[in-house]
Amino acid sequence: MRLVKQNIERDGSGTITLFPEEPEDMWHAYNLIAPNDLLRASAIRKVTTEGVTGSTTSKRVHVTLLISVTSIDFDPQAGQLHVGGKVAEENKWVGIGSHHTLDLELNRNFTLEKKEGWDSVALDVVKEAIRQDKEGTVPAVVMQEGLANICLITEHQTILKQRVETGIPKKRSGRASDHDKGMTKFFEVTLETLKRHVDISLPRPLLLASPGFTASGFQKYIIDEATRLGDKAVLANKSNFIVVHSSSGHLHSLNEVLKSPEVLTKLKDTKYSQETRHMDDFMTLLRKDDGRAWYGPNEVEKAVEKGAVGRGGGVLLINNALFRSQEIGTRKRWVALVDKVKEAGGDARILSSDHESGTRLEGLGGIAAILTFPLEDLDEDGEEDEEYNDDVPNGTNQESK
> The CATH number of the domain where 299 resides is what?
3.30.1330.30
Q: Is 394:298 a contact under the CB 8 Å cutoff?
A: yes
Same domain, 261 and 306: no
Q: Which domain holds residue 126?
A: 2-49+58-130
| Overall number of domains in the chain | 3
Q: Is 104:41 a contact under the CB 8 Å cutoff?
A: yes
Measure Cα distances from 282 to 95, 276, 287, 397 in Å.
Answer: 52, 10, 9, 10
For 364-386, write each residue's pLDDT tens digit. 999 999 999 999 888 775 544 44
387 within a domain of the structure (yes/no): no
Q: Give the end of a domain, one of 267, 292, 321.
A: 267
Same domain, 112 and 164: no
393 within a domain of the structure (yes/no): no
Q: Is 395:377 a contact under the CB 8 Å cutoff?
A: no
Q: Give the end of a domain, one of 79, 95, 130.
A: 130
* pLDDT over 70 at 395, yes or no: no
Same domain, 312 and 235: no
377 within a domain of the structure (yes/no): no
- pTM of the shown model: 0.59
Same domain, 236 and 184: yes
Same domain, 275 and 260: no
What is the reported pLDDT for 79? 73
For 164-212, write each residue's pLDDT tens digit. 999 998 877 666 688 899 999 999 999 999 999 888 988 888 999 999 9
> The CATH number of the domain where 62 resides is what?
2.30.30.870
Looking at per-residue confidence, does 306 or 75 come out higher? 306
Give buried/exposed letters for 190-213 (b at 16+ CB in 10 A, else e): bbebbeeebebbeebbbbbbbeee
Distance CA 296, CA 316 (A): 12
Q: Give the end of a domain, one of 130, 160, 191.
A: 130
290 within a domain of the structure (yes/no): yes
